[in-house]
């Protein structure tokens, strides 16, 4: 985490004085981008750096679904299964992804390439069904389009 401190300092300068506690979420996000997940040492380091209780960081990590405590595959495939996506084929698409990747939601392929997750409403209901791969939205997905997309991801 230490090598990110200069970045954290620039971030802190954007906030009003006394807002150190607010930096917990942005710093965790940056740590996760860097390491792929948040390790125990990151929690201790961030608590000391921000001067917030360690438990506050633990609580945030267990509350917000985007934070991870363990490494995942190189490509995180997150398929929305909420109402609008299900109305436009998400249930079939998720079945297809399970077969295609050979894993259930929450699991990673043995080669460490893909992790499959299901998620609730990504705010892309007009172009349903939507699948998020790492940071990017892929909208109006079909089995054919998802196959083409996955084939291009190493």
Q: Minimum distance between the CB of residue 142 and another protein, rounded to whole angstroms?
A: 12
Name residues contacting another protein, limited to 47-76 (CB under 8 A).
52, 56, 59-60, 63-67
Under rule CB under 8 A, which residues in 14-43 are in contact with another protein? 14-16, 18-19, 21-26, 28-29
Rounded to whole angstroms, how far apart are CA atoms 47 and 112? 31
What DSSP assignment string belongs to 76-129? EEEEE-SHHHHHTTHHHHHHHHHHHHT--TT-B-TTSSEEEEEES--S-GGG-S
Site string for another protein, 74-93 (x = CB under 8 A): -------xxxx-xxxx-xx-
User: What is the distance between the terminal CA atoms of the chain, rounded to a whole angstrom?
Assistant: 27
Q: Is residue 10 within 8 Å of 43, Cβ to Cβ?
A: no
Binding of another protein at residue 132 (CB under 8 A)?
Answer: yes
CB of 74 to another protein, least distance (A): 18
- Would you tell me which residues interact with another protein (CB under 8 A)? 14-16, 18-19, 21-26, 28-29, 52, 56, 59-60, 63-67, 81-84, 86-89, 91-92, 119-128, 132, 135-137
């Amino acid at each position: 985490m230490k090598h990110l401190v200069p970045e954290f300092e620039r971030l802190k300068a954007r906030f009003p004085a006394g807002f150190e506690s607010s930096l917990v979420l942005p710093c965790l996000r940056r740590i996760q981008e860097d390491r792929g997940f948040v390790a125990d040492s990151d929690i201790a380091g961030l608590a000391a750096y921000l001067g917030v209780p360690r438990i506050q960081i633990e609580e945030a990590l267990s509350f917000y679904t985007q934070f991870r405590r363990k490494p995942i595959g190189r490509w995180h495939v997150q398929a929305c299964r909420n109402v609008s996506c299900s109305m436009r084929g998400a249930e079939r698409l998720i079945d297809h992804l399970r077969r295609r990747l050979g894993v259930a939601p929450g699991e990673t392929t043995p080669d460490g390439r893909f992790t499959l997750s299901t998620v609730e409403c990504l705010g892309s209901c007009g172009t349903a069904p939507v699948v998020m791969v790492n940071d990017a939205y892929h909208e109006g997905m079909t089995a054919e389009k998802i196959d083409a997309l996955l084939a291009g991801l190493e």
